[in-house]
């Protein structure tokens, strides 16, 4: 038995060494075949001799047990965020403020990785656990998933105890491969690598996380010592070099700079290299290199005064507009979309971009064949900013909206006082497909696996006609369809069955009533309690609800006045879909307070936090104003947090909200 134990320990040490050389130093000391053979041998031994189990064995890279939920973790040291600067004028202001305390300060300028911030805790040289940033005070224990990231050392060469902070990200190449697979499987494409990384790290099944091939850059020491026999380096650069020696993946694209001109030059150079990097960045981090000097400059209320994040403006590119086609949405609106000569933009290849409506096309004088400037709104949705008339050749053509719906041939109509052109045909197949996709979406009935391609497959094969027909489906009705199979069919049917208990709040939103979002749906459900009662709602009674105006009220009444709406409601109820409100009795702990929610919360989704606030008498608004009482901020909070600070509005985290509700 002692020989077995020694062989297991030897294999673990060798595999750890080879992984460190490959993932941290980009050096392959053995072939993939030899590494895989050693890995399989270790797996076999660990399975045969479970008494030698080790949570930090290299075999844990493939994932382990499935969790019910993530545990909350209170950070020993707050995981703060950085103050953002959006212009070089603001950057100069930051540097001038530092210079008042520390003239000629030396700075580190490094990429701002567009990922998810985590902390990694080591005890006596072994990875103990890791957690997300959360609200800075409380995060989630995602240790099982972090163990699957190959560039995170599970054991160190020295018995040190400390905590480091890093940014988990999905490499661009992995992101594109993942989207190619999802496209083949008919699943919705992931918006960007950052969202993909965040979703992957929060999988309850770590085997799924392992398949996503995440990576990490460690960029800071939170607490502890990186040497056993001497003090920590005073230099940020030297500290990262030491962490690299210990086996951590650290940024090499960092430089030292002194003064505004040098700092700006490096930021601009990094921006030029943005497309060539293997990972997405959304800015550059500027921080004082001397750790002792940082203490002189000090800390602000929510951010350090010795560092700032320069945020790059949305990337813009020129390309050719090859054609314009229209897409018919769930409410029948025809949205013109540009077909572009493919161009690399903000980390992905863009070949289509929204043109919004015909008025936008005319105002910007956009023509087929034009050279146009495109960007991603919020780094997610591609849009055409402008045309470049100076580059025209005379072959460009003005665009006219179609007079009939491209999906059903019905004459289109233009909404009064609006730019929208709409198909009025309630039986239009395009409207039907989009309506069912909305019905199944995350904020509505949340039917996992029912994407647009599967919906079109079901419609084309006459398996469904409307959303209610989803609840008649059986696995045997689906398994013979393309891309389904027996297991996929059963998973979809199970997801549809689970959605029956979504409740009236989600159901009203799922119906796709014009002007009615998730907040309005909850408010209507709270007032009328059952779907049947909604059919007797009047404009006057609806206008009594906060934040529902006359236009929205008329839209709701018009929807419930249609015979097809009554037929759909009856069919849903007959199928066993819950048509009653599931909202808990309303409390008054938050009465009189108006909240704005921004960023990613540690344990709750935004809609869950919003529902919790409303259930306790508070209001939730979508924008920050002087009427805002509190801003509930999570990780990667953006412009709303900036505005809250400008207006002096109190910012709280999820834990503080729970304390207000007596739940923490």
Stretch 430-448: mean pLDDT, rounded?
Answer: 89
**φ, ψ dihedrals at 227, nearest 5°:** -130, 145
pLDDT tens digits, one per residue of 47-70: 787 787 877 777 776 655 556 678
112 catalytic per annotation: yes
Q: In what order do the strands lie in the sheet with 162-169?
A: 126-132, 116-123, 162-169, 215-224
Task: Tell whether the model's pLDDT for residue 96 goes beyond 60.
Answer: yes
Task: Give the pLDDT band (50/70/90) at residue 38.
Answer: confident
Please provide the average confidence, as pLDDT, over all residues in the chain: 87
Stretch 289-299: mean pLDDT, rounded?
Answer: 93
Task: Tell whether the model's pLDDT for residue 662 goes beyond 70.
Answer: yes
Q: What is the DSSP string of 45-88?
A: HHHH-GGG--TT-GGGGG--PBPSSPPEEE-SS-----EEE-SH
Task: Count CB-CB contacts under 10 A for residue 72.
Answer: 17
Task: Give the pLDDT band (50/70/90) at residue 656.
Answer: confident
Task: Tell whether the model's pLDDT for residue 190 goes beyond 80.
Answer: no
Q: How much is the CA Rg of the chain, to the nearest whole Å?
A: 28
Task: Tell whether the model's pLDDT for residue 383 goes beyond 70.
Answer: yes
**Across-strand partners of 130?**
120
pLDDT tens digits, one per residue of 3-30: 788 888 788 888 777 776 766 656 677 7
Distance CA(94)–CA(307), nearest Å, equals: 8
Q: Alpha carbon of 352 to those of 74, 323, 382, 398, 454: distances in Å?
A: 44, 10, 7, 18, 22
Kindly report the pTM of this predicted structure.
Answer: 0.65
Q: Are 507 and 445 in contact (CB under 8 A)?
A: yes
Stretch 504-513: mean pLDDT, rounded?
Answer: 92
Task: Tell whether the model's pLDDT for residue 83 goes beyond 90.
Answer: no
Distance CA(39)–CA(630), nearest Å, equals: 52
Stretch 424-451: mean pLDDT, rounded?
Answer: 87
- Which residue has better confidence, 176 or 33? 176
pLDDT tens digits, one per residue of 127-147: 999 999 887 888 889 999 999
pLDDT tens digits, one per residue of 328-380: 888 888 999 999 999 887 667 888 998 988 889 999 999 999 999 998 865 56
| Given the residues 112, 287, 431, 640, the one annotated as active site | 112
Task: Tell whether the model's pLDDT for residue 490 goes beyond 70.
Answer: yes
For residue 372, what pLDDT is reported? 95
Task: Tell whether the model's pLDDT for residue 304 goes beyond 60.
Answer: yes
Stretch 588-609: mean pLDDT, rounded?
Answer: 83
Check residue 402 and report its DSSP letter: -
Task: Tell whether the model's pLDDT for residue 417 goes beyond 60.
Answer: no
pLDDT tens digits, one per residue of 446-458: 998 888 888 888 8
Which residues, in sequence order, are CB contacts of 458 under 8 Å at separation 6+?
Answer: 464, 473, 478, 481
| Overall residue count recorded for the chain in this entry | 664
Q: H or E segment at 367?
A: strand 367-368
Query: Which region among 108-112, 536-540, 580-584 has the lowest average model confidence (pLDDT)?
Result: 580-584
How is residue 93 written in tokens?
A: 């202001």
How is residue 350 written in tokens?
A: 């863009």
Task: Using the Cα atoms of residue 634, residue 639, residue 644 and residue 646 in order, give the sign of their dihedral.
Answer: positive
For residue 586, what pLDDT is reported? 67
For residue 24, what pLDDT is reported? 61
For residue 418, what pLDDT is reported? 64
Per-position b or e across 82-114, b if 16+ CB within 10 A of its CB: bbbbeeeeebeebbeebeeeeeebbbbbbbbbb
H-state helical runs in 273-307: 291-297
Stretch 99-124: mean pLDDT, rounded?
Answer: 94
Q: What is the DSSP string of 150-207?
A: TTS-SB-SS---EEEEEEEE--HHHHHHHHHHHHHTTPPPPS-HHHHHHHHHT-SBHH
Q: Are 578 and 502 in contact (CB under 8 A)?
A: yes
CA atoms within 13 Å, Cβ hemisphere of 168: 30
For residue 69, what pLDDT is reported? 76
Task: Give the pLDDT band (50/70/90) at residue 41.
Answer: confident
**Across-strand partners of 288?**
107
Task: Give the pLDDT band (50/70/90) at residue 312.
Answer: confident
Q: In what order do the strands lie in the sheet with 281-288?
A: 83-85, 307-311, 281-288, 106-113, 255-258
Stretch 194-199: mean pLDDT, rounded?
Answer: 85
CA atoms within 13 Å, Cβ hemisphere of 473: 28
Stretch 80-84: mean pLDDT, rounded?
Answer: 85
Task: Tell whether the model's pLDDT for residue 540 goes beyond 90.
Answer: yes
- Which residue has better confidence, 370 or 276? 370
């Amino acid at each position: 038995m002692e020989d077995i134990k020694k062989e297991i320990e030897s294999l673990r040490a060798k595999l750890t060494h080879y992984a460190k050389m490959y993932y941290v130093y980009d050096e392959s000391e053995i072939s993939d075949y030899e590494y895989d053979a050693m890995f399989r041998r270790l797996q076999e031994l660990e399975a045969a001799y479970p008494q030698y189990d080790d949570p930090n064995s290299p075999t844990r890279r493939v994932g382990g047990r499935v969790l019910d939920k993530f545990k909350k973790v209170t950070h020993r040291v707050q995981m703060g965020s950085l103050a953002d600067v959006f212009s070089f004028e603001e950057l100069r202001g930051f540097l001038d403020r530092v210079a008042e305390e520390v003239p000629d300060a030396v700075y580190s300028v490094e990429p701002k990785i567009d990922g998810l911030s985590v902390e990694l805790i080591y005890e006596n040289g072994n990875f103990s656990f890791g957690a997300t940033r959360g609200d800075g005070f409380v995060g989630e224990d995602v240790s099982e998933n972090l163990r699957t990231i190959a560039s995170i050392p599970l054991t160190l060469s020295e018995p040190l105890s400390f905590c480091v902070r890093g940014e988990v990200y999905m490499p661009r190449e992995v992101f594109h491969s993942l989207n190619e697979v999802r496209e083949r499987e008919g699943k919705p494409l992931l918006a960007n690598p950052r969202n993909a990384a965040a979703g992957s790290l929060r999988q309850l099944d770590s085997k799924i996380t392992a398949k996503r091939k995440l990576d990490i850059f460690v960029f800071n020491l939170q607490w502890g010592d990186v040497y056993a026999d001497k003090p920590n380096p005073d230099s940020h650069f030297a500290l990262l070099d030491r962490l690299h020696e210990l086996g951590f993946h650290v940024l090499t694209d960092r430089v030292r700079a002194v003064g505004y001109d040098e700092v700006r030059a490096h930021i601009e150079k990094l921006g030029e290299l943005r497309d060539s990097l293997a990972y997405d960045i959304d800015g550059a981090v500027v921080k004082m290199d001397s750790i002792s000097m940082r203490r002189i400059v000090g800390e602000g209320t929510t951010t350090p005064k010795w560092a700032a994040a320069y945020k790059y403006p949305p990337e813009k590119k020129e390309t050719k507009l090859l054609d314009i086609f229209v897409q018919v949405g769930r409410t029948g609106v025809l949205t013109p979309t540009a077909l572009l000569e493919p161009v690399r933009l903000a980390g992905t290849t863009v070949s289509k971009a929204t043109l919004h409506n015909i008025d936008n096309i005319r105002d910007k004088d956009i023509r087929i064949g034009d050279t146009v400037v495109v960007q991603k709104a919020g780094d997610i949705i591609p849009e055409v900013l402008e045309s470049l008339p100076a580059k025209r050749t005379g072959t460009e053509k003005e665009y006219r909206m179609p007079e009939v719906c491209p999906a059903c041939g019905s004459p289109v109509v233009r909404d009064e006082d609006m730019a929208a052109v709409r198909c009025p045909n309630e039986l239009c197949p395009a409207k039907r497909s989009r309506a069912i996709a909305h019905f199944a979406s995350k904020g509505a009935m949340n039917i996992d696996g029912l994407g647009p391609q599967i919906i079109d497959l079901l419609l084309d094969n006459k398996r469904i006609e409307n959303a209610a027909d989803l609840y008649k489906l059986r696995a045997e009705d689906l398994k013979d369809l393309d891309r389904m199979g027996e297991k996929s069919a059963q998973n979809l049917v199970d997801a549809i069955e689970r959605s029956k208990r979504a409740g009236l709040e989600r159901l009203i939103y799922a119906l796709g009533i014009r002007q009615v979002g998730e907040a309005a749906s909850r408010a209507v459900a709270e007032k009328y309690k059952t779907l049947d009662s909604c059919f007797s709602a009047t404009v006057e009674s609806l206008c009594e609800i906060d934040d529902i105006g006359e236009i929205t009220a008329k839209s709701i009444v018009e929807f419930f006045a249609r015979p097809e709406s009554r037929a759909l409601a009856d069919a849903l109820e007959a199928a066993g879909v819950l048509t009653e409100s599931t909202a808990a009795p309303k409390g008054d702990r938050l009465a009189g307070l108006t909240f704005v929610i921004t960023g990613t919360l540690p344990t709750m989704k935004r809609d869950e936090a919003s529902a919790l606030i409303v259930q306790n008498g508070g209001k939730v608004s979508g924008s920050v104003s002087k009427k805002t009482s509190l801003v509930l901020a999570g990780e990667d909070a953006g412009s709303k947090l900036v505005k809250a600070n400008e207006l002096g509005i109190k910012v709280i985290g999820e834990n503080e909200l729970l304390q207000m509700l007596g739940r923490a």
